[in-house]
Amino acid sequence: MFKIEHDEYDIIVVVLHRGSKRSVWFFAHWILGTAVTFLGVLNVYLGLEAYHQKTSKGIKIWNILFTVEIALVVFFYLFQEKWVYIQNQGVVLGNEMMTSICQEIGPNEKDEKILKGDTC
């Protein structure tokens, strides 16, 4: 399929070519999934409105419940996406974490630590 020579340029071209196909696939997959999700949500709201027009029954509570459900799903989706980032940050309540770290470091070590880019 691909002619791979031992020349660095050819290997880079093959890797980039494979990577571009993969990135196009992931983008197409993501955009299709997002579009289908939005269409599904729209379908529920339109279906509730059609139900109301056919039966004259109230749908306000169903609209509220579905909106809350969508908001929770979006919140948890975004939350789980950033969960690793949140865990890596640690919990800082006021200055408690910072003061305990700074108290453990001696005066000479504190200067070195600040010079390295870490702050107390």
For the chain, give the secondary structure using H, E and C. Answer: CCCCCCCHHHHHHHHHHHHHHHHHHHHHHHHHHHHHHHHHHHHHHHHHHHHHHHHCCCCHHHHHHHHHHHHHHHHHHHHHHCHHHHHHHCCCCCCHHHHHHHHHCCHHHHHHHHHCCCCC
Asked if residue 109 is part of any domain, the answer here is: yes
**Is the pTM of the predicted complex or chain greater than 0.85?**
no
Range of the domain at 104: 90-120
Asked if residue 1 is part of any domain, the answer here is: no
pLDDT tens string 27-43: 999 999 999 999 999 99
- Tell whether the model's pLDDT for residue 100 goes beyond 50: no
Q: Could you tell me which residue, 22 or 9, shows the higher pLDDT?
A: 22
Domain count, the chain: 2
Asked if residue 46 is part of any domain, the answer here is: yes
The owner of tokens 């880019």 is 117
- Tell whether the model's pLDDT for residue 87 goes beyond 70: yes
98 and 41: one domain?
A: no
User: What is the pLDDT at residue 29?
Assistant: 94
Q: Which of 46-50, 55-59, 83-87 has the lowest mean pLDDT?
A: 83-87
